[in-house]
Amino acid sequence: MKTLRFFSLVVLATLELLAVPAWGATVRGKIVDEKTGGLLPARIYIRDASGKWYFPRSSGAGGSALPYQRTFGGNTRATEQHTTLSAHPFTVDLGPGRYEVSIERGKEFRVLSEVLTVGDEAVVEVAYKLRRWVNMAGRGWFSGDTHVHRDPAEIPNVQLAEDVNVVLPVVHWTTTDQIPPSLGPRNFKGEFGRGLIQADPTHVCYPMNSEYEIFTTGGSNHTSGAFVVAHHKRPFEVPVFPLKRVVDQARSEGALIDLEKHNWPWSMAVVPIIRPDLFELSNNHLWRTEFAVRKWAVPAPAYMGLPQGGLESEKDWALYGFRTYYALLNCGFRISPSAGTANGVHPVPLGFGRVYVHLESGFDFEKWMVGLRAGRSFVTTGPMLIADIQRELPGHSFRMKRGEVRQVRVRATLLSDDPVTSIEFVVNGEVASQVSFENDSQRSRIERSALSDRLALKGSGWVAVRCWSRLADGRIRFAHTAPFYFDVPGESPTPTRQEAEFLSLRTREEIQRSRGLLPAAAVAEYEESLRFYEGLKAVAR
């Protein structure tokens, strides 16, 4: 009897170590489209009452399931614990009890949350039906995540589960000023050429992208910042400094330079040199899980009206990025918005923030990249925002005459499965018109339209549209279009005095901070940037 009891204890201990319940059920499940009944790929979360997470396995022939577990530092509330499933049945072993199950598929399907109760049965059969609330591809809009840190071999599973049409994984990544991305110690193994990896005809991955994310300079711990070179043709075998050498290769290969975040120490100092094509308006500090990066890098300047002791919310962080982007647009830089999650590093699903690009004649990767650069796009963490001026999409340039004052109205179509608080029409960095939905009795409608007040435009400048939605828990989501441009021949947009002072100060501080560590050529580039910003102060508004 003692031997039997000892044997039982050993078996129980072994099962506990293997995280397999001693008694319980094998749950056999499938995720299907509510309308068609067809199997869907998706992202699934399963958690028990104690907070323990469970990760299903694919049970279909040719199926795949990829667990994803990331926590920000020691903050257990800022955690992402899910499995991305291919369009096949799945199984998971669960002991008796109640489990929270949540299933998502990108932005265009409604979140499904249910409680699963497991008793003493051996097998539990479940079917989860996802409902599509909008079909953006049917409207000519296709999504992308431009900054990803996943092995390209995993991308087909993940991008179908998240319904992201274009994924640009960083395969080469350096964090040291003297090491080129092609030799980065964290690079993915394999030969990555210019060919597409196709999950299906409308979901593709281009696996030749590199990131310069510099934490070590001149052999010292000295954080500079980051930018991504996307869609290049050959590995980058040059270190980051001088910057112009990197830019020359990128331009010669038709690659796009994406400014990775707005408040790295070097972010403003490098812009006049690298002339980025893209600005991550939705970046990798915006997560599905709790906003956690409240104090990071360079704080927002006082003129932005944001908390100075640390950002309090993801809306503060988003506004910091918006206002920085606006300052650069006001300096005459034609930078289109992008969205990058750094999924693979951060606790965030692929495509949580994504950029939608409009294509006239169906999906085509190369045309998508052209549209991304041209700004026929909007960025979103939730709602869909389609805007036009005189039937032209964002990115369009309208010609103006010198001295002309043009009255324009912007038409916006907003699609959201969450309550919307407002649509805001931004002119040269300031909210010039707003439509509020705070007291809208029909705010649960998925689609609505809004028209700006008449906007009086004079001189070269730009117009964009942004909107905010609010979840049941008080969290926010946003969408933001690329700019519409208004051009007077021979005239450039001008920043405000505060913006020009901010950009000059940031660059001057970076020169002082980095002198003695950076090579002389790099310091000279920063000094060139400073002269550019100082020159704008003379014409600032």
8 A C-beta contact, residue 240 and residue 174: yes
Using 50, 70 and 90 to split pLDDT, how confident is the model at 445? low
Q: Which residues contact 375 (CB under 8 A, 6 or more apart)?
A: 334, 336, 337, 394, 395, 482, 483
| Mean pLDDT to the nearest integer, 22-43 | 92
8 A C-beta contact, residue 77 and residue 290: yes
Please state the CATH superfamily assignment of the domain spanning residues 24-130 in this structure.
Immunoglobulins (2.60.40.10)
pLDDT digits (tens, 9 = 90+) for 470-487: 998 889 999 999 999 999
pLDDT digits (tens, 9 = 90+) for 490-513: 999 999 999 999 999 999 999 999
Q: How many residues are listed for the chain in this entry?
A: 541
8 A C-beta contact, residue 137 and residue 49: no
User: Is it the case that residue 80 has pLDDT exceeding 70?
Assistant: yes
Q: By C-alpha distance, which of 71, 120, 509 is closest to 290?
A: 71
8 A C-beta contact, residue 175 and residue 214: yes
Using 50, 70 and 90 to split pLDDT, how confident is the model at 425? very high
User: Is it the case that residue 64 has pLDDT exceeding 90?
Assistant: yes
Task: Please give the pLDDT value at position 458.
Answer: 93
φ/ψ of residue 7, rounded to 5 = -60, -40
Q: By C-alpha distance, which of 274, 273, 282 is closest to 229?
A: 274
8 A C-beta contact, residue 358 and residue 371: yes
User: Is it the case that residue 444 has pLDDT exceeding 70?
Assistant: no
CATH class for the domain made up of 383-493? mainly beta
Using CB atoms within 10 Å of the CB of residue 532, give its burial: 0 to 12 exposed, 13 to 18 middle, 19+ buried.
middle
Q: Name the residue ranges covered by the structural domains of the chain.
A: 24-130, 134-381, 383-493, 497-537
Strands 397-399 and 430-436: unpaired
User: Is it the case that residue 18 has pLDDT exceeding 50?
Assistant: no
8 A C-beta contact, residue 296 and residue 285: yes
Encoding tokens for residue 134? 């909008």
DSSP 399-464: E--TT-EEEE--EEEEE-SS-EEEEEEEETTEEEEEEE-TT-TTTT-SEEEEEPPPEEEESSEEEE
Share of the chain above pLDDT 70, in %: 94
Using 50, 70 and 90 to split pLDDT, how confident is the model at 310? confident
pLDDT digits (tens, 9 = 90+) for 368-379: 999 999 999 999
Q: By C-alpha distance, which of 433, 442, 444 is closest to 467?
A: 433
pLDDT digits (tens, 9 = 90+) for 317-334: 999 999 999 999 999 999
Exposure class string for 210-238: b at 16+ Cβ within 10 A, else e:
bbbbbebbeeeebbbbbbbbbbbeebbee
pLDDT digits (tens, 9 = 90+) for 119-171: 989 999 999 999 999 999 999 999 999 999 999 999 999 999 999 999 999 99
Q: Which helix (H) or strand (E) holds 362?
A: none
Query: What mean pLDDT value characterizes the chain?
Result: 93
- Given its phi and psi angles, is residue 305 left (phi above 0), alpha (psi -120 to 50 degrees) or beta? left
Task: Please give the pLDDT value at position 211.
Answer: 98
Using 50, 70 and 90 to split pLDDT, how confident is the model at 440? low
Peptide bond into 307 cis (omega under 30): no
Rounded CA separation 238/172 (Å):
12
User: Is it the case that residue 7 has pLDDT exceeding 90?
Assistant: no
pLDDT digits (tens, 9 = 90+) for 280-306: 999 999 999 999 988 888 999 999 999
Give the CATH architecture of domain 134-381. Answer: Alpha-Beta Barrel (3.20)
User: Is it the case that residue 441 has pLDDT exceeding 80?
Assistant: no
Please work out, in degrees rounded to the nearest 5, the angle formed at the alpha carbon of residue 491 by the alpha carbons of 490 and 493: 150
8 A C-beta contact, residue 89 and residue 53: no
Task: Please give the pLDDT value at position 439.
Answer: 55
| Mean pLDDT to the nearest integer, 374-402 | 97
Q: Look at the block and give the residue holding tokens 């469970």.
A: 54
**pTM value?**
0.94
pLDDT digits (tens, 9 = 90+) for 229-283: 999 999 999 999 999 999 999 999 999 999 999 999 999 999 999 999 999 999 9
Task: Please give the pLDDT value at position 308.
Answer: 82
Encoding tokens for residue 114? 């249910």
Using CB atoms within 10 Å of the CB of residue 156, give its burial: 0 to 12 exposed, 13 to 18 middle, 19+ buried.
buried
pLDDT digits (tens, 9 = 90+) for 189-218: 888 877 999 999 999 999 999 999 999 998
Same fold, 134-381 and 383-493: no
Share of the chain above pLDDT 90, in %: 85
| Mean pLDDT to the nearest integer, 398-416 | 95
